[in-house]
A and B are shown apart, each in its own frame.
Chain A
């Protein structure tokens, strides 16, 4: 009887083959080798790498306009080392976003971490590394609390973390007594924030280190897959046996920890605390993540985020150097406008038109029977 079962499957398949054969002869189904190759071709597409092209554009444009000041190692050092804190914060936002949770408390978490560092440097004799561990640990605890509010109290993450960020603001005001505090760190600690290693700012290595770890976890481990599955459809992931509540919880704890690291790195670079520092970093970080999510794999991803951030940062720097009057207001304007344009270009309308054009060329004459949604990465090389 098992034999009967399988033969029926075969029979059904043969029928379908006969129905589909006419279609295949014209459409052609790509083999495994074709698919790999097409993936690589698709990776060079404008849509997947628009931020890289934007970056190149800025380099060329401002290189021509003010090459003498723009194309210098000072500019590179300034932009790269100056962007590290924001990028780490962006990575903190990225983790919960992968499972479709917004953590808007990252700016406040960084502020808390920095406040703890500065406070401990003034009121204790602990080595800075221990202070850093305490600060990061505290931020992870706050992440755990946010996770509790979201998972157990069923509060929308947007609201939960917005609320938590205000509570954190109160906490740092309490710690700092609403004054600007200047930390007293050992020289070695401050040096770690400003020194160069092999001609490259040392802080950049921290960023790369965190990025590599996060990239590996997101792309090459089960936890990463569970994060994206939960983000894609929480109910479906749960019914597939994924412990979605735990995944969300873990993502917020990770987010807290990484935001804490951003504060620690900030303390190396400046060592001065004021309660206004954290929140200002929220927007550039969030912008980088969303812009980055339109790049490469077209879901929230580490390298897309970094590319997006630095493309914008170089644009802003170029603007600052080229037009002296553009000093203060250019940054938020630039970030706001470029975020909207980039995400709009990557989002539905344009993407859908491209997809429809592509759909027609794949082996699916009734393309419209499937609701349009995600893109089809492997077909963008053009089948048939």
Chain B
């Protein structure tokens, strides 16, 4: 618990948490945690799923009541946070991962949700004033877009901006802004816009608590970082005193993360996936071939076609062009793609990757129920359960219960189940769209290892990701997209976030 910046120790913290504990029946979610936040500081809070960071945030938000014995001091006064309204009253503001915007309403209306409109005679909404006010508030954060467009039509960064603007309503009274995983749905090039907005917030003297799984962001924006593990504070350090490896080590304890795995060159390079003049709404006449044993990365900025191409390959979106698996055509329909040996793990895990109300078993067996049906189309739940249990053990899904409702699993475990449901089909082509978005470091390692393993067994794995580091760590080769086309190809030895971004932005010469 060494404070690495004693020189700043004299500054009065805006928020000081001492000895905070939270016990749930059977578990100690937060174990005498200490945390302090200075005005004008961005303080990152990192830790894996289950480390206690959400519990701490929920105590601040008034959703959980801490165990007796701990103190929360805000601006020099000890406070008790009874409920969410009290939390807001005290000056806590939150931007949650799911931003809580109504996509059919426009910016003005979304800002008015919860705070109401300025009204004139007879309760008439003073639209002109409301619009002017909305425009000013988003400009104050460094944004500039039309406030009358439905927010569903705006970009992810702009939506995040609206959520921040809304959180900062009456910001004179706000003291602490908590930003929870703001970049989970944000393409990398839009992160800088968000950072700009956060910089403006801190300039106003607010303390910012920044929660993220992306460690590079932590280093880019935070002054200090506090690491939580198993409910305990492992340490608080200035980001300048740390590097990424040390931070990961603090988060994971004394374990070594998996080393980069190189391609198994003993597998003969036969083409598995051949794509000829693939076209979609953004993707424009794309052709490529991927080989057995290969993990192929597709990188590209948002809007480049990267977020669309895998769904086009799978036939989830209307397309033209040809897709061949082992030389045989796969027609553009999900059912036929599955039959041809293609598997797609979509980027939106709960929206299109899984059925959250069904159990783990029902999600897991859905793509191929035939193997468990016998005479008279009878489906054997016992057999299903046995197979599910095997895979749960293999992938260490927690809780290890086939009958757990999918929704009750954490993000990383959900993704393991989604991956497992396809890997059991022994697909020839595995398409992974943003496979590790919003999952913790260890689940990420497991998922990458599974991808490598599938390739090592002779399949072709294609990963489309906005996380350039992910592409570099896992792929044998990367194709870079821009404006719906491939503009470059980078081989294993040259792969680095720098080379990728230079090709993405068009700075480098085309290498393909």
Contact = CB atoms under 8 A, between A and B. Distances in A.
Interface of A: 1-2, 4-6, 8-9, 11-20, 22-23, 26-27, 29-30, 32, 35, 39, 220-225, 228-229, 232-233, 235-243, 299, 359-379, 383-384
A2 B255 contact: no
Contacts of B403: 35, 39, 377-378
Given A240-B366, A240-B421, A365-B231, A220 B358 contact: no
Interface stretch (B86-94, B369-377, B503-511): B369-377
A20 B252 CA distance: 11
Interface string B333-370: 01101110000101000111111111000100111011
**Max chain A Cβ within 10 angstroms of own Cβ: one of B52, B398, B409:** B398
Contact of B252 (A15, A240, A241): A15
A26 B449 CA distance: 30
A370 B408 contact: yes
A20 B377 CA distance: 41
A6 B334 CA distance: 29
18 contacts: A12-B396, A14-B255, A15-B255, A15-B442, A19-B48, A19-B252, A26-B28, A225-B365, A229-B355, A233-B351, A233-B355, A236-B355, A241-B338, A360-B24, A364-B399, A365-B24, A365-B50, A374-B356
Contacts of B394: 9
Contacts of A223: 377
Interface stretch (B36-44, B130-138, B151-159, B452-460): B452-460
Nearest to B354: A236
Contacts of A371: 98, 350, 407
A37 B337 CA distance: 40
B405 A377 contact: yes
B149 to A, nearest CB: 25
B314 A239 contact: yes
B366 A35 contact: no
Contacts of A374: 356-357, 405, 407-408
Interface of B: 24-29, 48-55, 58, 63, 98, 229-231, 252-253, 255-256, 258, 261, 263-264, 266, 314, 316, 334-335, 337-339, 344, 346, 350-358, 362, 365-367, 369-370, 373, 377-379, 381, 389, 394-396, 398-401, 403-405, 407-411, 421, 442, 445-446, 449-450, 452-453, 456-457
Contacts of A379: 404
Nearest to B97: A369
B334 A241 contact: yes
A366 B49 contact: yes
**Max chain A Cβ within 10 angstroms of own Cβ: one of B256, B314, B316, B408:** B408
Contacts of B407: 370-374
A243 to B, nearest CB: 5
Contacts of A22: 230
A5 B398 contact: no
A110 B266 CA distance: 67
Nearest to B393: A13
B357 A373 contact: yes
B258 A360 contact: no
A375 B335 CA distance: 30
Contacts of A359: 24
B258 A221 contact: no
A35 B377 contact: no
Nearest to A4: B261
A144 B369 CA distance: 26
A27 to B, nearest CB: 5
Contact of B453 (A6, A238, A242): A6
Contacts of B51: 366
A237 B366 contact: yes
Nearest to A230: B355
Contacts of A26: 26-28
B362 A370 contact: no
Interface pairs A-B: 6 shortest CB-CB: A1-B264, A365-B29, A5-B453, A241-B338, A232-B355, A360-B24
Contacts of A243: 335
A225 B362 contact: yes
Given A229-B358, A361-B24, A370-B407, A222 B334 contact: no
Contacts of A242: 335, 366
B28 A235 contact: no
B354 A370 contact: no
A19 B251 CA distance: 10
B258 A8 contact: yes
Contacts of B338: 240-241
Contact of B449 (A8, A32, A220): A8
Given A29-B400, A237-B355, A18 B255 contact: yes
A263 to B, nearest CB: 28
A370 B28 CA distance: 18
**Max chain B Cβ within 10 angstroms of own Cβ: one of A16, A22, A236, A240:** A240
Given A9-B449, A363-B399, 7 more contacts: A2-B457, A12-B258, A18-B253, A233-B354, A366-B29, A369-B49, A374-B407
A225 B379 contact: yes
A368 B366 contact: no
B26 A27 contact: yes
A237 B365 CA distance: 11
Contacts of B379: 220-222, 224-225
Contact of A19 (B53, B253, B351): B253
Contacts of A9: 394-395, 446, 449-450, 453
**Max chain B Cβ within 10 angstroms of own Cβ: one of A16, A23, A29:** A16
Contact of A8 (B362, B378, B445): B445
B417 to A, nearest CB: 12
A17 to B, nearest CB: 7
